[in-house]
């Protein structure tokens, strides 16, 4: 991502496509049937990119929307997290599923393994809230 | 008790089958301001909210804490909360206060305060506020596309037709959960065949839905439900954190995401804690906002069958949509659940959102007959398309869909079916036969199609998951098989996923495959003449109607002969003289009668009109004389001319459109003996009776007036009547005296 965005950069796909590199390392304009048939582009390249999400977060922030910006930043951290892992953490955050240690462990994993600082903090805050309202495992 | 016939009739009206209730706060059956609702309050200390809506931080439940920590704007809340509710309500309807200013203020308001603010507004003020507060400038609409048989061929075609009609988004689900991947594919392929860029969804259990999104088979999700009490949230096996985490997971896969909420849900779940529906909904909306999710589908949704039973219920539903917009959220504003048998109530339900305009006016217009709607039926379905179009036309509003030609519907339905056929072949799925396609193209509902072996389709659906068949595979297969148009659209949607432009608030993909959202299409309403107004091209589309042909054909139609080709040949004899015989009745007709117009509004050939009136006169032993008036087409005038020329002093005036009266020579033209004003109701027998009555007047009798017939349903013919009268008037010849004539049936032997 090449730094500052302005609102006129939106839509990014039109105005700043060079900023986006797909998870497979190709550029958006290279996603063509020709390249797919040649095997140069795969489904992996059609996944949402971290750069794209961060660019959108920056755009949202420019409009003063810290809410959208926040979730997009958390989403950007999740690009590299497996779908199964996301579902696992989701389940862990449901009521009466996890102990405090389980959740602390997940936050640690997010922070160290995935560099997902925003998400790690989010889990820690959830832990405190669930503990306070007795929604941890065994509290029922 | 004695019963009146009117009450008996009223009791049979469909509206009286709709359930109604009275407030019952203990179970949460109360719209707003329940005794248990807290008073609005806020206290911030060191950047932390330590009190909200009368509760201290240590007593916060999960929802309070989530809203307080991630939602409420801590820098502005004390200032915003200090404003009287009525003051904020006035700003909502003040065109000089912008949407963005209101959003900036609203994020400082607690749920209890939000409820109080919108309670200040009446329905028209809610609509004015909604018009200003909608996130996006342009409006949209969403369709439900399902069928009871989970038939992928029919589903793809219904998706294509819905997309062609203009729906921004399409939503499906499955009767059988395991077939969902196939349904998602049917919507994806059919949708793009109808209109490139249409976004699609398959509503399923959350993890399942995420998987479909990850594989690129869907583009949006909206089934993440939130609730207003901790109890219901817990019963739903979620916490605000679990929902917020999962939704960010959706975003990470490029799935446009909105949450679901709505008044009445806590009552249904039996844990409203005595709080009012609107207060709880304000909490839901705050959870959504605090999660950083761009939008909501709300407006009671399934709860409408509860909310709508209370006095003020539908106003409350409109105000919950407004709260969402005030928070800056995209709103798919309900109108998606069947709740009444009354067509008038059904219409009244969507009027506030249709007229004000929301991001998506319905969150599920049933693009199939309701009998095939797996979401238990919508407020409006395929039966109502033309009503909806008419209402758009009547009020010059854009409800997101436009009339389309039947031939185009057939074309895109067949195209969708053929694309599915090719795709299934490429994927080695259970084949789709040509006859299946043809049956589904022309089907009314799933009743009319050729059934498939659903077990085979389920096996194919399971393959989609186990083999990881993706949107890209589908795009490539379609492209290979000559469906480049659909293939390119799907590929374009996948490219959009990479850049994530459509994750911004209120995003959609237009027909040119460009993303529009609050960022480049922000609602900028500043009063009359500003913000979204349909442009000329759009208005033309909105106003188009196949039935306009009828209007354009009116004259041609009037010129046409009678139903059996009965045409009249009028033969003018010369200037009409004043009659001397007391036993005559003069029939005076208007300028174009029988010459430039050939039949009445009631479809009676002019030939037969004269035949019958004359026969009626002759049956009374009198004789008739026919006169054509050229100086006027006015019924009063021509009837008076006839009466004055008549030896008996009695004349019958007949206009080309069929309107008639019996006149007496001494009356002023504005008065008459008898007037027969509703021409469409005059049949041959009526004309015969008119002749008979006229003759009896001529004999000096006082006949009983002919029975009046009034049928309001002929009133729409007024426009045709006006046009025919205009053409009659065009045939006036100034200072040309009345001419006596005889006539024969054209072509008949003489």
C-alpha pair distances (Å), B292 with each of B46, B241, B328: 23, 12, 11
**Of the partner residues B239, B244, B248, the one whose CB lies closest to the CB of residue A78:** B248
What local confidence, expressed as pLDDT, does residue B113 receive? 98
Separation CA B354–CA A5 (nearest Å): 36
CB contact under 8 A, A46 and B238: no
Within chain B, which residues score under 70 in pLDDT? 563, 749-750
Domain boundaries, chain A: 1-78, 81-140
Cβ(B397)–Cβ(B355) below 8 Å: yes
Beta-strand pair B48-52/B42-45: antiparallel
Of A37, A56, A67, the CB nearest to B500: A56
Contact B379, B337 (CB under 8 A): yes
CATH 3.40.50.10150 in chain B, residue ranges: 554-745
Which tokens hold the place of B53? 């809506």
Cis before residue B590, ω within 30 degrees of 0? Answer: no
- pLDDT for the residue B468: 95
B297 is catalytic: yes
CATH architecture of the region B554-745: 3-Layer(aba) Sandwich (3.40)
Q: State the Cα angle at B353 between B351 and B354, rounded to 5°.
A: 60
Contact A7 B519 (CB under 8 A): yes
Chain A residue nearest residue B488, CA to CA: A33
- DSSP, res B67: I
CA distance B475 to B188: 10
What CA–CA distance (Å, rounded) separates B113 from B110? 5
* Cα–Cα distance measured from residue B261 to residue B498, given in angstroms and rounded to the nearest whole number: 29
Does the predicted interface ipTM exceed a cut of 0.95? Answer: yes
Mean pLDDT (chain A, rounded) = 94
Q: At residue A1, does pLDDT exceed 50?
A: no
Q: Which two tokens stand for residue B299?
A: 């407006």
Query: Is 2.60.120.10 the CATH classification of the domain at B133-542?
Result: no
N- to C-terminal Cα separation, chain B: 70
Rounded to the nearest 10 degrees, how much is the dihedral formed by the CA atoms of B197, B199, B200, B206?
140
Question: What CATH superfamily is the domain A81-140?
Answer: Propanediol/glycerol dehydratase, small subunit (1.10.1510.20)
Q: What is the DSSP letter of B708?
A: P
DSSP state of B658: S
End-to-end CA distance of chain A: 47
Beta bridge partners of B624: B585
Q: Give the model's pLDDT for residue B705.
A: 94
Contact B499 A17 (CB under 8 A): yes
SS3 per residue for B442-487: CCCCHHHCCCCCHHHHHHHHHHHHHCCCCHHHHHHHHHHCCCHHHH
pLDDT value of position B85:
98
Q: How many CB pairs under 8 A join A and B?
A: 201
Q: What pLDDT score was predicted for residue B640?
A: 97
Catalytic residue among B206, B336, B473, B521: B336
What are the E-state strand segments in B649-733? 650-654, 660-664, 674-676
pLDDT value at residue B750: 57
Q: Any idea what DSSP says for residue B683? A: -
Residues 6+ apart with CB under 8 A from A61: A69
On chain B, the residues whose CB falls within 8 A of the CB of A68 are 292, 294, 504-505
Chain A residues closer than 8 Å to B515 by CB: 11, 13
């Amino acid at each position: 991502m090449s730094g500052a965005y302005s609102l006129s950069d939106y839509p990014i796909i039109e105005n700043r496509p060079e900023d986006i590199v797909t998870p497979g390392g190709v550029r958006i304009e290279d996603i063509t049937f020709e390249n797919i048939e040649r095997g140069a582009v795969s489904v992996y390249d059609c996944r949402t990119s971290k750069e794209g999400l961060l660019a959108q977060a920056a755009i949202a922030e420019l409009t003063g929307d810290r809410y959208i910006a926040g979730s997009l930043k958390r989403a950007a951290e999740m690009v590299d997290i497996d779908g199964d892992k996301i579902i696992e953490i989701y389940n862990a955050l449901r009521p009466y599923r996890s102990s405090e240690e389980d959740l602390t462990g997940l936050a640690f994993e997010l922070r160290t393994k995935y560099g997902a600082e925003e998400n790690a903090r989010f889990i820690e805050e959830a832990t405190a809230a669930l503990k306070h309202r007795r929604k941890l495992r065994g509290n029922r | 008790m004695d019963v009146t016939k009117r009450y008996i009739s009223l009791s049979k009206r469909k509206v009286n089958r709709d359930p109604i209730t009275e407030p019952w706060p203990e179970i949460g059956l109360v719209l707003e301001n329940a005794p248990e609702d807290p008073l609005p309050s806020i206290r911030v200390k060191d950047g932390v909210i330590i009190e909200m809506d009368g509760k201290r931080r240590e007593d916060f439940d999960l929802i309070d804490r989530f809203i307080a920590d991630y939602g409420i704007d801590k820098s502005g809340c004390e200032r915003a909360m200090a404003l009287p509710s009525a003051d904020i309500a006035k700003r909502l309807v003040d065109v000089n206060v912008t949407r963005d200013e209101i959003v900036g203020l609203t994020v400082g308001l607690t749920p209890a305060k939000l409820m109080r603010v919108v309670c200040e507004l009446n329905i028209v003020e809610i609509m004015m506020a909604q018009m200003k507060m909608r996130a996006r400038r342009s409006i949209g609409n969403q369709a439900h596309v399902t069928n009871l048989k989970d038939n992928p061929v029919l589903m793809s075609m219904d998706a294509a037709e819905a997309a062609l009609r203009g729906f921004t988004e399409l939503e499906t689900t499955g009767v059988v959960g395991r077939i969902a991947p196939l349904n998602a594919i049917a919507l994806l392929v059919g949708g793009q065949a109808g209109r490139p860029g249409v976004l699609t969804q398959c509503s399923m259990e959350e993890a399942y839905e995420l998987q479909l999104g990850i594989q690129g088979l869907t583009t949006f999700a909206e089934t993440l439900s939130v609730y207003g009490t901790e109890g219901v949230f817990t019963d739903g096996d979620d916490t605000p954190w679990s929902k917020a985490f999962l939704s960010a997971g959706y975003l990470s896969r490029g799935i446009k995401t909105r949450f679901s909420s709505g008044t009445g849900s806590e009552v249904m779940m039996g844990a409203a804690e005595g709080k009012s529906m609107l207060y709880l909904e304000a909490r839901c909306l705050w959870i959504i906002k605090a999660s950083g999710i761009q939008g909501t589908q709300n407006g009671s949704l399934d709860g409408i069958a509860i909310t709508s039973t209370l006095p003020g219920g539908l106003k409350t539903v409109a105000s919950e949509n407004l709260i969402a917009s005030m928070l800056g959220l995209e709103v798919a504003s309900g109108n998606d659940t069947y709740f009444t048998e009354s067509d008038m109530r059904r219409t009244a339900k969507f009027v506030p959102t249709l007229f004000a305009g929301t991001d998506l006016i319905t969150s599920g217009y049933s693009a199939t007959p309701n009998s095939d709607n797996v979401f238990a039926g919508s407020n409006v379905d395929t039966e109502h398309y033309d009503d909806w179009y008419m209402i758009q036309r009547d009020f010059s509003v854009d409800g997101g869909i436009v009339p389309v030609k039947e031939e185009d519907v057939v074309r895109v339905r067949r195209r969708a079916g053929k694309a599915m056929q090719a795709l299934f072949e490429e994927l080695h799925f259970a084949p789709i036969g040509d006859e299946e396609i043809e049956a589904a193209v022309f089907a009314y509902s799933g009743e009319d199609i050729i059934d498939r072996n659903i077990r085979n389709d389920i096996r194919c659906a399971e393959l989609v998951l186990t083999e990881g068949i993706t949107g890209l595979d589908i795009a490539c297969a379609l492209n290979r098989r000559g469906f480049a148009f659909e293939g390119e659209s799907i590929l374009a949607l996948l490219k959009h996923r990479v850049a994530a432009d459509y994750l911004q608030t209120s995003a959609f993909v237009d027909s040119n495959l460009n993303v529009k959202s609050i960022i480049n299409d922000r609602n900028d309403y500043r009063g009359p003449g500003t913000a979204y107004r349909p442009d000329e091209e759009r208005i033309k589309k909105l106003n188009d109607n196949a039935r306009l042909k009828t209007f354009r054909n009116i004259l041609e139609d009037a010129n046409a002969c009678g139903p059996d080709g009965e045409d009249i040949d009028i033969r003018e004899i010369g200037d009409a003289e004043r009659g001397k015989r007391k036993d005559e009745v003069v029939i005076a007709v208007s300028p174009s009668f029988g010459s430039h117009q050939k039949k009445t509004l009631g479809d009676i050939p002019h030939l037969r009109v004269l035949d019958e009136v004359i026969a009626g006169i002759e049956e009374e032993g009198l004789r008739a004389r026919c006169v054509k008036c050229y100086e006027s087409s006015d019924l009063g005038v021509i009837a008076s001319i006839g009466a004055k020329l008549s030896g008996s002093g009695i004349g019958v005036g007949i206009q080309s459109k069929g309107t008639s009266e019996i006149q007496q020579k001494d009356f002023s033209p504005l008065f008459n003996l008898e007037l027969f004003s509703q021409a469409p109701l005059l049949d041959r027998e009526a004309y015969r009776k008119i002749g008979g009555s006229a003759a009896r007047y001529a004999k000096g009798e006082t006949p009983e007036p002919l029975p009046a017939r009034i049928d309001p349903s002929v009133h729409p013919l007024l426009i045709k009547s006006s046009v025919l009268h205009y053409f009659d008037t065009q045939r006036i010849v100034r200072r040309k005296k009345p001419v006596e004539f005889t006539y024969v049936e054209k072509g008949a032997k003489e």
